[in-house]
Amino acid sequence: MKKNKQKFIDLRSDTVTRPSRPMLEAMMNAEVGDDVFGEDPTVNALQKRVAKLFGKEDALFVPSGTMGNEICVKAHTQPGDEIIVEEESHIFVFETAGPSLLSGVQMQTVRGVKGVLPQDKVEAAIRYKAYYMPPTRLICLENTHGRSAGSVVPLENMKAISKFAKSKGISVHLDGARIWNASVASGVSFKEYGKCVDSISACFSKGLGTPAGSIVIGSKEFIEKARRYRKIFGGGMRQIGILAAAAMYALDHNIDRMKEDHKKARFLADRLIVLDALAIDLTEVQTNMVFIDIAKSGISQAEAMELLKNEGVLVTPERHTFLRAVMHLDVSHDAVEQAASAFKKVFA
């Protein structure tokens, strides 16, 4: 007989979700064609829909958020250019030096506050024109900001950076992997976010709960360049309407329900902050993540994760003394209550 596998409350990421039965049915019923030839009707419909949603001319379905970001960096720059990134941004921390490897550009980091780039620091980071200086071509923003526990970058900050960049002839890209969460939490429309930037990369496989896929959004000219680099990077796929159908279903059904993920994150944070061994910055708990500082407990990250796993809860390490818990559509409120009890058992 096969032993029953232990069922974990998986709070490692919002990427661990599995497609629901209705989403699977939408995928199975998808009309498909060869997307490299531009002949997949479901992909074409998705691209048109998302472009309109963000107020842009065109969009391009890509396999992953990292590929989406790297395609955008490549399309905006030339080898030898410099791009400005926030020092804790996904592009800088988690994409294995992709901009230097794939685009031949140098990254200059600016320290933000909960993902917000101070305009004076951005202005100070712009290179003055000299033949021995790499020209600043691109400023990269991220919303929500992953390493600030999913904090929302205010629209006014994005507008200010955009206005300054435009005055200098510099492009602006938005890593909007969780832009859906940002919009739901802030009430800012996708179109308003789109006005602030020249390109966007948004994920379907995180809070929206699809099995894979992201999308790049911009002008028609920009997307034509992006399509070429998608092919070069190996991202051209064929009858991919089965994944586009999942994204279409998610846009119809899984955006508004993100409010529940945000509520669950706040619920967990409120339950854990009373424990003396733990510290949580509640100002960061704005969307679906909770960062828990365990430094005062004297327990290492590895030991804490193992103890929580023994209690049926999975989390990930973050920074040096933090654990990360991410809410998603596959974790119920009851499961979050159980997770809170597990934390109390380990850290009381």
**Tens-place pLDDT, residues 326-339:** 999 999 999 999 99
Neighbours of 257 (CB within 10 A): 13
Q: Tell me, what CATH number does 192's domain have? A: 3.40.640.10
Q: Tell me, what CATH number does 304's domain have? A: 3.90.1150.10
- The pair of three-digit structure tokens given for residue 292, joined into one six-digit string: 């828990």
Average pLDDT on 268-291 reads 97
Q: Verify that 147 and 285 share a domain, yes or no.
A: no
CB 153 within 8 A of CB 144: yes
Question: Does 22 reside within a domain?
Answer: no
- Band the pLDDT of 5: cuts 50, 70, 90: low
Q: 264-276, pLDDT tens digit by residue? A: 999 999 999 999 9
- Domain end residue (candidates: 203, 238, 253): 253
Per-residue confidence (pLDDT) for residue 348, from 0 to 100:
87
Q: 192-214, pLDDT tens digit by residue? A: 999 999 999 999 999 999 999 99
Average pLDDT on 95-109 reads 97
Question: Does 319 reside within a domain?
Answer: yes
Q: 14-27, pLDDT tens digit by residue? A: 999 999 999 999 99
CB 68 within 8 A of CB 247: no
b or e along 285-308 (b: 16 or more beta carbons within 10 Å of the residue's beta carbon)? bbbbbbbbbbeebebebeebbebb
Range of the domain at 305: 9-15+257-347
As a three-state string, the secondary structure of 177-212 is: CCHHHHHHHHCCCHHHHHHCCCEEEEECCCCCCCCC
In angstroms, the Cα distances linking 67 to 201, 234, 277 are 9, 10, 39
- Domain end residue (candidates: 218, 238, 253): 253
Q: Verify that 141 and 157 share a domain, yes or no.
A: yes
Count up the domains in the chain and report the number. Answer: 2
pTM (two decimals): 0.95
Average pLDDT on 80-102 reads 97
Per-residue confidence (pLDDT) for residue 1, from 0 to 100:
41
- Domain end residue (candidates: 253, 269, 289): 253
Per-residue confidence (pLDDT) for residue 6, from 0 to 100:
67
DSSP states along 240-301: THHHHHHHHHHHHHSSTTHHHHHHHHHHHHHHHTTSTT-B--GGG-SSSEEEEE-GGGT--H
Q: Verify that 92 and 239 share a domain, yes or no.
A: yes
Is the pLDDT score of 4 beyond 60? no
Q: Verify that 262 and 237 share a domain, yes or no.
A: no
3-state class of 11 per DSSP? coil
Q: Verify that 296 and 223 share a domain, yes or no.
A: no
Average of per-residue pLDDT values in the chain: 96
- Band the pLDDT of 319: cuts 50, 70, 90: confident
